[in-house]
Amino acid sequence: MSLAISPACRDALEGWLAAQKALNDASDNTIAAYAGDVTGFLGFITGHKGGPQGLGALEDVGVSDMRAWMAMVRGEGVGPRSLARKLSAVKSFYRWLAEREGFEPTAVLSARAPKYTRKLPRPLAEDAARAVLADAPLGARNDWVGARDVAVLTLLYGCGLRISEALGLDAGAAPLADVLRITGKGGKERLVPVLPAARDAVETYRRLCPHDLAPGTPLFRGVRGGALPPGAIQKLMAGLRARLGLPATATPHALRHSFATHLLAAGGDLRAIQDLLGHASLSTTQSYTAVDTARLMEVYDRAHPRA
């Protein structure tokens, strides 16, 4: 369908994507998602309007056209959340195009995606998180693999790293300093304090690892010496779920959720936790920190004792 898009529309799309990359520092994955979402929309409008018509067809898009597009997307089995993402990309493109071309984009900007229930992250209880770290080495084929597994999981839970960030560490970063400089989503850097437990776990792994951990090579290795893939840690957590009777939501990423939740429960500042996690939006951090009301009141009472 995208082959039918007019050259003018294609040029406009490329211009918008370049602006997103330059002004908003969007990652390559984000740019690819934007391109796919808006290309799909432009392809639909092309067919809906009877063929390539340049930018004029985009300026004439009305409420009924938007409803027809959203109905088509839902008919393809796309869920409400994914449709909301696609609509957000289309609206962003239209804001940019309308400002550039001087037309009124109200019909597009007023379109509403169907409501969906946001799935909140499910952190582990503190005793469950401790059990995960304690049990992790028990099923390993040898001591160094067990030490490696503990080191990775400790970085997820003790430092709030994403699994890609932990497995992306260079061997030259060890011994770990008091603070790690982590490059996260969108190439954004943040500073993450390293707990002694995380530093010790990594050093235990390094001491036992049979492979050459030279600077410029991955810190965490598979059994044959290659970079440790995320699937290995996901498989590890699956085994831990079975042995410890944990729910299906107990994933490697759940340890990151748990880091944030337990830190807030202990009285941590929400904006400081936002910085530690590398979230662009505070609302994202709030969804990660699923602390129950009773525990929030305990934190409040400690900070504001009654007379």
Which residues are catalytic, by number?
Answer: 162, 185, 253, 256, 279, 288
d(CA 56, CA 54): 5
Please spell the DSSP secondary structure of 135-178, one letter per residue.
Answer: HGGGG-SSHHHHHHHHHHHHHHHHH---HHHHHT-BGGGPSP-S
What letter would DSSP give residue 181? E
Residue 206, CA atoms < 13 Å, CB-side half-sphere: 19
Determine the Cα–Cα distance for residues 220 and 199; give it in Å rounded to an integer.
14
What is each CA distance from 117 to 80, 120, 121, 124, 194, in whole angstroms? 9, 9, 12, 21, 35
Q: Measure Cα distances from 177 to 8, 48, 172, 191 in Å.
A: 52, 58, 11, 11
